[in-house]
Amino acid sequence: MRTIVVTGGGTGIGRAIADAFAADGEKVVIIGRRAALLERAAAETGAAWLTCDVSDPGAVMDFTNWLLREIGPTVDVIVNNAGGTG
């Protein structure tokens, strides 16, 4: 089983990607800015989740620390699906 991180994993394409990996039995972690959407998606797919605005370096560091502590030291796949405005 691989560990998959999907940014923007609460809705749209990110959610579909997370669903596909979860259906294949992978350990999926979804992150995004909207807790309610992430919580719902995680409940439906069995994914772990945490809010994280990937445009905020401090939030990314907090996510990284959480990931190491709660999920493990290895990430096999990162799907960088989060949108941005530059």
What DSSP string describes 9-28?
TTSHHHHHHHHHHHHTT-EE
What pLDDT shows up at residue 84? 64
What DSSP string describes 59-80?
HHHHHHHHHHHHT-S---EEEE
**What backbone torsions phi and psi does residue 66 show, to the nearest 5 degrees?**
-60, -45
Q: Which amino acid is at 69?
A: R
pLDDT tens by residue, 19-49: 999 999 999 999 999 999 999 999 999 999 9
Answer whether residue 85 shows pLDDT above 70: no
